[in-house]
Amino acid sequence: MKTTTEKFGVTPHQPSLWTRADALKVRADDPTTTQPLVSADFPVLNNDVFIWDTMPLRDLDGNVTSVDGWSVIFTLTADRHPNDPQYLDEDGNYDILRDWNDRHGRAKMYYWFSRTGKNWEFGGRVMAEGVSPTAREWAGTPILLNDRGEVDLYYTAVTPGATIVKVRGRVVTTEHGVSMVGFEKVKPLFEADGKMYQTEAQNAFWGFRDPWPFRDPNDGKLYMLFEGNVAGERGSHKVGEAEIGDVPPGYEDVGNSRYQTACVGIAVARDADGDDWEMLPPLLTAVGVNDQTERPHFVFQDGKYYLFTISHTFTYGDGVTGPDGVYGFVADSLFGPYVPLNGSGLVLGNPSSQPFQTYSHYVMPNGLVTSFIDSVPTDETGTQIRVGGTEAPTVGLKIKGQQTFVVAEYDYGYIPPMLDVALK
Ligand code: FRU
Domain chopping of the chain, boundaries: 4-245+255-418
Asked whether 138 lines ligand 1 (CB < 6 A), one says: yes
Asked whether 76 lines ligand 1 (CB < 6 A), one says: yes
Reply yes or no on whether 278 is catalytic: no
Asked whether 295 lines ligand 1 (CB < 6 A), one says: yes
Distance from C-alpha of 20 to C-alpha of 415, rounded to nearest angstrom = 34
Asked whether 53 lines ligand 1 (CB < 6 A), one says: yes
- Tell which residue, 389, 423, 414, 424, has the closest CA to residue 64: 414
- Tell which residue, 233, 124, 107, has the closest CA to residue 162: 107
The two beta strands, 346-349 and 368-377, are: unpaired
Please count the other Cβ atoms lying within 10 Å of the Cβ belonging to residue 364. 20
Distance from C-alpha of 190 to C-alpha of 267, rounded to nearest angstrom = 10
Which atom of ligand 1 is found nearest the CA of 103? 12
Backbone angles phi, psi at 98, to 5 degrees: -65, -40
Per-residue pLDDT of the chain (424 residues; tens, 9 = 90+): 444 445 666 778 999 999 999 999 999 999 999 999 999 999 999 999 999 999 999 999 999 999 999 999 999 999 999 999 999 999 999 999 999 999 999 999 999 999 999 999 999 999 999 999 999 999 999 999 999 999 999 999 999 999 999 999 999 999 999 999 999 999 999 999 999 999 999 999 999 999 999 999 999 999 999 999 999 999 999 999 999 999 999 999 999 999 999 999 999 999 999 999 999 999 999 999 999 999 999 999 999 999 999 999 999 999 999 999 999 999 999 999 999 999 999 999 999 999 999 999 999 999 999 999 999 999 988 789 999 999 999 999 999 999 999 999 999 999 999 999 999 9
* Domain 4-245+255-418 fold: Tachylectin-2; Chain A (2.115.10)
Centre of ligand 1 from the C-alpha of residue 207, in Å: 10
Centre of ligand 1 from the C-alpha of residue 30, in Å: 26
- Annotated catalytic residue: which of 53, 210, 227, 291? 53
Residue nearest to atom 7 of ligand 1 (CA): 360
Q: Where are the beta strands (DSSP E) in 87-177?
A: 108-114, 121-125, 136-144, 150-158, 162-173
pTM of structure: 0.97
Asked whether 165 lines ligand 1 (CB < 6 A), one says: no
DSSP letter for 32, please: G
How distant, in Å, are the alpha carbons of 303, 339, 399 from that of 334?
11, 12, 18
Which atom of ligand 1 is found nearest the CA of 209? 10
Distance from C-alpha of 267 to C-alpha of 279, rounded to nearest angstrom = 4
Distance from C-alpha of 51 to C-alpha of 39, rounded to nearest angstrom = 18
Alpha helices in 151-258 (DSSP H): 241-244
Residue nearest to atom 9 of ligand 1 (CA): 294
Reply yes or no on whether 53 is catalytic: yes
